[in-house]
Amino acid sequence: MTPVMTEGRSFVDRLRTAILKPAGPDNVEDAREPMPVKELETTIRSANDKERLIGLVAAPLAAAIGFLIISALVSNDPAALLKDGAVNKLHVAVSVYESLFVVLLVMSVLILATALFRKRLFLGIVMALYGLAVFNLHYWGFGVPFIMAGAWLLVRAYRFQRELRDRESTGGATASFGPPRANKRYTPSPSAGKR
């Protein structure tokens, strides 16, 4: 791998090069061989080990985060009545928090089940929904990683489906990943019309 020169480059360019794979002869995705259709169908049906591991790690974390959030909400809930005896509008009944805790636990069990059964699309949906639920409880730091992981899984599922659809529309032929081919349509040059 050739060393990348960092002199004269901005901090953002250096950070982008450090985090992302630089475009080179070894890292160009255009040079990769397309998967056979059977292998692509198998990839669509089940998540790989990396995606499964993300779900298996996220499920117990989701349960623990749900427990922490609900216990914090219950302990910080204001009193039902104000000092003058009026009803406090900011008070929330404990039964609401209990049902919310059950929902968060069910979602963490669904994350675990979809990871065990290697269902990429459903795992992405449940993780994104869990992240949105936690995000709406104003615990953004806990919700954003679940949203990002769920979005990543959903994008991967979409890309595999799109590649399979493109293959089927071309009659099973492999899609070209190289540069665009020349168009066979004739376009006269601008000087040809000035006779």
Domain segments of the chain: what residues? Answer: 35-167
- Predicted pLDDT at 148: 96
- Predicted pLDDT at 1: 43
- Predicted pLDDT at 180: 60
* 75: Cβ contacts below 8 Å, ≥ 6 apart: none
* 119: Cβ contacts below 8 Å, ≥ 6 apart: 46, 47
**Alpha-carbon span 134 to 73, nearest angstrom:** 12
Three-state secondary structure call for residue 159: helix
Calculate the CA dihedral of residues 30, 31, 37, 42 and round it to 10 degrees: -90
**Alpha-carbon span 135 to 112, nearest angstrom:** 20
Distance of CA 13 to the CA centre of its chain: 24
Ranges of the chain whose pLDDT falls below 50:
1-4, 28, 30-31, 175-176
**Kindly report the CA angle at 110 between 131 and 159, in degrees rounded to 5?**
70
pTM, whole model, 2 decimals?
A: 0.68
